[in-house]
Structures are given as structure tokens and as C-alpha cells.
Chains A and B, each alone.
Chain A
Amino acid sequence: MPYALLLPGLLWLVVFFVLPMVTLGSQSLQEGNVDDGYVFTANFGIYVDALQQYWPQFLRSFIYAGTATVLALLLGYPLAYYIAQKAGRHKNLMLVLVIAPFFTSFLIRTLAWRTILSDDWFVTEWAQRLGITNLLQAVGLTANDSLLNSQFAVIMGLTYNFLPFMILPLYTSLERLDPRLIEAAGDLYASPWQTFRKVTWPLSLPGVVAGTLLTFIPAAGDFINARLLGNTQTTMIGSVIDSQFLRVLDYPLAAALSFILLILIVTMVSVYVRRAGTEELL
């Protein structure tokens, strides 16, 4: 009975995934408060209220996460390509460097960016001298001539923190790419750009899809970057859920927001995966 081996995993899923989801779902439909307790009232109206009140934070979360995903793809693709196809014997060292940040806590690394981007450090000073701060201010990514506590800092933090999740799947895909196919494309009159568009890119799509999902999904629900690197105008939905649960103690609202986030992400992801049409490549 080989299925018996699935039991521990299934049990784990039931206890730590299905039960919490059910609890969360039922909690979102309860009314009451912490002191007097909660009663289940099937209060679906809360979902409408939550969306009406917090749609800007939802929208902002998806825009930030989407931007960070695109940036991570632009930064990660050339790097993953280089490691997979050109790095030779330095391949393993470079892979270790990619995952090296994981040896420190997410929180500590994000806090480190507070120091790096602080007003009295050389990064901001140089950015000011080179006119980068003015540029960022002009496009609305910062509010003044500092870098910290701005949309810019939040998006940058998200990109930084989730970049390895982009690089690793891209690497896996590009590593399997047969360099002879690239030669063959060149042999068949494809310029380097056409070779990329017609051969390299389509064959790396499984990695692109996996990488973008692994970046976008956690980034959309993230609250650390927005809290440590942003300001009151850059609040993401993760921060709202966090404070509703732990500070305001409005459990039903927090649970409803969590569910809305979940449904929105699942919807977007399924549309995206279908559009990318990578099923047969995977």
C-alpha cells in the first residue's frame, strides 16, 4: 500500500493548513469582541466593508509586488543566465553567494537597509549629488530628498528580499538549456536578440513562471518592508492584516482581509499561469 507513505504529509496538511483555513474562514464570519467573545453570524457583509475600506492597500500591495517582481526578473535573468551557462567552475560559488543572504534573518537584513539608506550615509549623499533623489522625487517614488521611508525604499526592499526566489528557479531552467540549441538558432540566421526571443526565452518560461510566482506571492503579502522602509502612505495589505490581528484585535476583519488577499492572489496566479501556457513545458 504505497499510499500509506502519504499519510504523514496528509496529516500535516490537515492539521496545519486545512484546520487553520477553516478556523480563519469561520472567524471572518463572526461578530463580537475580545472581551465578550465571538458568535458566528454568517456576516458576509464584512467582506464588502473590508474591500471598500482597504482597496487602496490591496491595490498598492499588488503594484509594489508586481514592480518588485519585474525588477527581480530584470536583475535575476542575466545573472541566472550567466551562472547557468557561462560561470564554468565558479558556478557553485556563485550559487552559494545567491543564497548566502538566507543565513541571516529577513528582519535583520531589512533593518540593515534602514542604515544603508539613512540620510547621513554616503548612499543618500551620492544619490543627492548625482541627482537621483531629484529624479525619484519627480516620478513620485520619494516625497523629499531622502531615500528612506518612501515607495522607492519599499519596492527596493521587496526586490532585494525576494531576488533569490527569482534567481533559483530561473537558474534551474537555464541550466537545462542546451547551448547547442542557441548555436543552432544562430546557424539558422537568428540574430542574438531573435535567438533570445525565439529559443532562450520560451525554453526558460517554466523558470520565469516559477520565479515570478515565488517572488510575487510572498511580496504581495509582505509587511516587513513596508513597515521598516516605508511611511504611512506606503502601507501594504500585509501591514493592515498584521495590525488588525495584533494591535486593533479585530479578528473578523483581519480574517476577512486575509481571505480576500488569498482569493485575489489565487485568481491572479491562475490567470497568469494559463496565459503563460507553460503546462506542457513544465
Chain B
Amino acid sequence: MSERQGKGDLSLVALTKSFATFTAVHPLDLTIPQGSFFALLGPSGCGKTTTLRMIAGLEEPTGGRIRIGDSDITDTKAYQRNVNTVFQSYALFPHMSVLDNVMFGLRRRGDKQAKAKANEILELVQLGQVASRKPTQLSGGMQQRVALARALVNRPDVLLLDEPLGALDLKLRRQMQMELKRIQQEVGLTFIHVTHDQEEAMTMADSIAVMNAGRIEQLGDPATLYEQPRSTFVANFLGQSNLVRARVNPGGTDAVVTVRAHDTDLEVSREHLPDGVQDVWLGVRPEKLRLGESGGPNHLRGVVRDVSFSGVATQYSVAMPWGQELIVVQQNDGSARARLGETVTVSWAAEHGFALDASQAADAGADLVDDRG
């Protein structure tokens, strides 16, 4: 595969989809490297599924181009594209056996080894023993794997996954996430995974595009998106965030800038501060906060209002003098615990904070998070 690297990249150029009354996807530019596991993450109605359907050829774009390598596939029909989809509902053909379902694509292309290839891929997804059954006789998880095998067996340039794990229960979903990741690494195809489950996206994908209202909010690898969100939407949609209103102080060093929040000076890495912005939301992830002063130079004092113990960690809600409550998640690693009503110091390091333009709503995206995971 490595010699083809770069030749099979999928690129979307100003791809747009408008309906009569609204624009589902605003001009979207994106390049997805061949062989990567890419996730399109966003709440329902953000345009991620529409984008996927345009790549599959099931939806016609209003504007823009779709390319795989050097070939422009924008004007081709779905059946002419070397792209396959694993549908959310699986869409398995109920009148065909599992084997016939898996052979469907190969047969349409007149592949002489259809049967051998189909059997091989069924082994890969551990379904060799049910090849002759009808899809309706299988469990949800098995049907999901048939749908995956049916798409994978064609060795498409791009494999699209439309919330493929949405119908599975939590345990099975976790298992399938690992499975999908393993299979993707084994076959080395480009996977584009559409999901609204941020944990799922972070677990599986090499890179994630977070979409909101038809636009890509931020693109990056899971760790960067989580550690350095560039908008309040991303900060809230990917995990929890504490956002404190602050104003940037002039000066500072190359590495660190101070911001003034509610009469306290707090440090934040310069690279986590957008250029030319004065009013900011200073964000810190709950698990980056420490009770006590061991966390770093940034200190805030408050009163513990709520303690909830969850085994691995304890979550504290600490009320600040100005009324805001900060969420602190502390590993239960034997470090000091706080009691309800106790006055505590909350501390963190400069590099664990990130600053976001304060013209955005602090709670953007927070209500859209799906907590099933």
C-alpha cells in the first residue's frame, strides 16, 4: 500500500449542499490521506451525513468537486464510484444469504473469485459459520459485521461508515470499535467514519473533523482537539470544559501570557492563545485541575458544593466567589480528598489551559453532547 501513498487521497474542494430553505453543508475543503481512519464528528443536523452521502454519490452536491487521487468523481453515479458505505441501518438484502450479500458488489463487477474473497472476508469478521443464513436470522452485532464485510470485500478507495455502531448496545459498541480499528489497520483502506459520539471518534480515528452547522469547526488529531480546542463548541462537544471569563494582560514572555480573571492573574501558554484577542474564555479540562496547590502556578479558591464518587475518580463541583462552579475530576490515587463545604484551592499549569475568543457563547455545543457513551 505504501507505494500508493498519496495517490488515493480523497479531496473535497468547496463541496456544498443547499436545500430549498437551508444550507446543509457550506463550502467545505478537506483532504483525507489514503489509508487513514478519519472521523466526521458533530451533532445531528451538522451536515456530516450529507457530506458522507455526497462522497458516496447518494446525494448530488450543489457545488464543489470530489476527487480521489487525480480522478474527479463529482459527476459519476454512486454505482460507478469505487466507494462503499456501511449504512446506519445496515441495509442488508433480506432475500439473500449472508454470503450473497457479501458477494453482491464483486458479482456486479464480474469478479471470478467472488466466492473465495467473500468467504475470506467473512472469516476476517468472524462470520464464516453463518455464511448461508439470512441476515434477519442474525443478531444486531453480526448484521453490523456483515454490512462491514459487504463493503470491505470490494477493497474500495474509500470506505464510508455512517454511524455504523449506533444501533448496538454499549458493550458491543466498545467491542466493535476495537474490531473496526483492527480491521482498518489490517486492510489499510481509507475509512471515513461519521458519528455524533465524541468518545467513539476519539477512540478510533487518526484525525477528526468536528462539524457544526454545516461547517468544519476544527480539524486535527484527537489529542490536539481535546487539549487545544479552538472554539467553545469544540471545547464543550469533546468532553467537559471549565470556561472562565478573562482579559489578556499586556506583555508576557514568549512562552507564557497572563490573563486577568475576576481579580486574579492566571498564566496560559502563548501558543494556546488566539492572536489579537483581548477578551477570552480561559478553558481548563476538569481532570487537569488539582485540589490543593500541586497542580501549578494558577490558583483559585472556592467552596466544595458537590462531591460525586465514581470509583476510578471523584468529581467535585467547586463554587468560585463570583458564583461560577468549576468541575474538578480527581483520580482516586490516594491524594487528598475534599469534603462538602470545605474551602479548597484549585490549581493547574499554564500549558493545561487554553484561551478562546470571548465573543462566542460559553455553552455552545454543550447541550448537544450525547452521553450514551
Contact = CB atoms under 8 A, between A and B. Distances in A.
Contacts, number: 63
A41 B193 CA distance: 80
Contacts of B91: 178, 180-181, 183-184
A189 B79 contact: yes
Nearest to A187: B85
Contact of B108 (A183, A190, A281): A190
Nearest to B78: A186
B39 interface: no
B108 A199 contact: no
Interface in A192-225: 192, 194-195, 198-199, 202-203
Interface of A: 178, 180-181, 183-192, 194-195, 198-199, 202-203, 281
A4 B87 CA distance: 48
Given A188-B105, A203-B95, 8 more contacts: A180-B87, A183-B87, A186-B78, A188-B151, A189-B80, A190-B108, A198-B93, A281-B95
Interface of B: 56-58, 77-80, 83-85, 87, 89, 91-95, 104-105, 108-109, 150-151, 154
Contacts of A180: 87, 89, 91
Contacts of A185: 79, 93, 104
A245 to B, nearest CB: 45
A282 to B, nearest CB: 12
Nearest to A183: B58
Nearest to B100: A198
Contact of B154 (A178, A188, A195, A199): A188
Q: Indicate the member of A190, A192, A195, A202 with the most B CB atoms within 10 Å.
A: A190
B93 A187 contact: no
A247 to B, nearest CB: 51
Contacts of B92: 184
Nearest to B82: A189
A184 B108 contact: no
Contacts of A199: 93
Contacts of B154: 188-189
Given A188-B104, A188-B108, A190-B104, A183 B95 contact: no
A187 B58 contact: yes
Q: Sorted from nearest, which 5 A-B pairs have the closest CB atoms?
A: A184-B91, A188-B105, A189-B108, A186-B78, A180-B91
Contact of A183 (B78, B105, B109): B78
A187 B104 CA distance: 10
Contacts of B83: 187
Most-contacted residue by chain B among A181, A189, A198 (CB, 10 A)? A189
A178 B136 CA distance: 14
Nearest to B103: A188
A203 B61 CA distance: 30
Task: Name the prevailing secondary structure of the A interface residues.
Answer: helix
Contacts of B80: 189
B308 to A, nearest CB: 42
B77 A186 contact: yes
B31 to A, nearest CB: 23
Contacts of A198: 93, 104
B81 to A, nearest CB: 8
Nearest to B94: A203
Query: Which of B84, B89, B95 gathers most chain A CB within 10 Å?
Result: B95
B110 to A, nearest CB: 10
A185 B104 CA distance: 8
A164 B104 CA distance: 35
Contacts of A190: 79, 104, 108
B79 A184 contact: no
Contact of A187 (B84, B89, B94): B84
Nearest to A184: B91
Contacts of A183: 58, 78, 87, 91
Contacts of B109: 189
A187 B56 contact: yes
Contacts of A194: 108
Contacts of A188: 79, 84, 104-105, 108, 150-151, 154
B96 to A, nearest CB: 8
21 contacts: A178-B89, A178-B91, A180-B91, A181-B93, A183-B78, A184-B87, A184-B91, A184-B92, A185-B79, A186-B57, A186-B58, A186-B79, A187-B83, A187-B84, A187-B151, A188-B108, A190-B104, A190-B108, A191-B108, A192-B79, A194-B108
Contacts of A195: 79
Nearest to A195: B79
Nearest to A188: B105
Nearest to A180: B91
A181 B87 CA distance: 10
Contacts of A187: 56-58, 78-79, 83-85, 151
Contacts of A192: 79
A61 to B, nearest CB: 34
Contacts of B94: 181, 203
A191 B79 contact: yes
Nearest to B77: A186
B173 to A, nearest CB: 21
A170 B254 CA distance: 74
A76 B228 CA distance: 61
Nearest to B104: A188
A195 B78 CA distance: 12
A3 to B, nearest CB: 31
A189 B105 contact: yes
A101 B105 CA distance: 44
A6 to B, nearest CB: 31
A194 B79 CA distance: 10
A191 B95 CA distance: 19
Contacts of A189: 79-80, 105, 108-109, 154
